[in-house]
């Protein structure tokens, strides 16, 4: 009965949210195999929806105007079957552009062979090209002689090229990497987009207070340090800088229960689930800054070509 009410509500009011929910990020699970010290979406639980209920959520988003869905986590490839089915459903049944953000450690060739055709953009977190720095951050093993994060990133880049998927990089600029010069490696990887985020502190996740799993306070950088990193890489055309003032409220985030997360008060306050109240009512509780979303370039060419042509990187 709840499902029928939710569907009816979403279908009767598709225009009310359409301009606001064009791009949505869905954290399918908080589970992760890395321990990045600055992470602000930590493994506070291991819950995830069934495939059927997750697909229903995608259907609700579609009818409310969502054009692009980004699957993230945690590490989404810890649930490869669920992730693959959602990518296929979003592309084939909902007509959405599909992107994924991953740490790159669990992406397998067989998964790409089966589901890569449904993915438009695959983003990988790349905070450093130095094994010691990656180990200190928590990306991969803490043993610097065995840290293979960069090697894995290169393999993912090759798989993206093979399957025609647009390759993206995400970098969190923090006290451990803000002086690094990544130009040589970024040029080699040639990402479609490169997001550089200023290390962000959120209560309940990484503030070092209460029951927070992480304490990222020592990893914070000043705006001046962040800007210096951006200036050092200013010749990288794919670079998109996002300091805290731009990033914090300009993303629509759905957690593992399909609840929008309001970060406006430096924490994460969940809305009611879109499965219970529909997209419109949940969106009203999201704390979303649509103006900043537009200003930061939240709308871009997010559908890859599937006919062998090249996408215009300037768009």
Active site residues: 32, 36, 39
Cβ–Cβ < 8 Å for 138, 162: no
C-alpha 237 chain-centroid distance: 21
Give the C-alpha separation, 247 to 170, whole Å. 13
Question: Could you tell me the two tokens for 166?
Answer: 């647009």
Cβ–Cβ < 8 Å for 125, 138: no
Closest to 217 (Cα-Cα) out of 229, 199, 204, 244: 199
Closest to 1 (Cα-Cα) out of 258, 291, 306, 275: 275
Give the C-alpha separation, 174 to 219, whole Å. 5
Give the C-alpha separation, 66 to 93, whole Å. 13
Residues facing residue 239 across a β-bridge: 194
What lies within 8 Å, CB to CB, of 191 at 6+ separation is: 167, 168, 169, 238
Give the C-alpha separation, 124 to 134, whole Å. 14
């Amino acid at each position: 009965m709840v499902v029928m009410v939710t569907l009816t509500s979403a279908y009767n009011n598709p225009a009310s949210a359409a301009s606001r929910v064009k791009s949505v990020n869905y954290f399918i699970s908080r589970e992760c195999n890395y321990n990045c010290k600055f992470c602000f979406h930590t493994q506070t639980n291991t819950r995830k929806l069934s495939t059927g209920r997750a697909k229903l959520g995608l259907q609700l988003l579609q009818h409310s105007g969502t054009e692009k869905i980004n699957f993230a986590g945690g590490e989404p490839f810890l649930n490869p079957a669920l992730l693959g089915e959602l990518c296929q459903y979003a592309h084939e049944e909902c007509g959405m552009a599909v992107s994924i953000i991953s740490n790159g450690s669990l992406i397998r060739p067989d998964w790409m062979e089966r589901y890569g055709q449904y993915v438009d953009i695959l983003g990988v977190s790349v905070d450093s090209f130095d094994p010691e720095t990656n180990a200190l951050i928590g990306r991969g093993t803490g043993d610097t002689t065995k840290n293979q994060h960069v090697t894995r990133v290169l393999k993912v880049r090759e798989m993206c090229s093979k399957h025609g998927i647009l390759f993206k990089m995400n970098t969190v600029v923090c006290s451990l990497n803000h002086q690094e010069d990544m130009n040589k490696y970024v040029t080699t990887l040639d990402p479609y987009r490169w997001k550089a985020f200023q290390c962000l502190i959120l209560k309940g996740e990484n503030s070092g207070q209460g029951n927070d799993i992480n304490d990222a306070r020592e990893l914070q950088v000043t705006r001046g340090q962040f800007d210096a990193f951006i200036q050092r890489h200013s010749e990288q055309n794919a670079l998109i800088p996002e300091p805290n003032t731009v990033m914090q409220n300009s993303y629509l985030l759905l957690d593992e229960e399909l609840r929008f997360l309001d970060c406006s008060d430096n924490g994460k306050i969940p809305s009611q689930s879109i499965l219970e109240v529909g997209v419109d009512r949940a969106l009203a509780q999201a704390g979303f800054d649509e103006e900043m979303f537009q200003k930061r370039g939240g709308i871009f060419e997010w559908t890859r070509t599937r006919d062998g042509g090249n996408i215009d990187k300037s768009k």
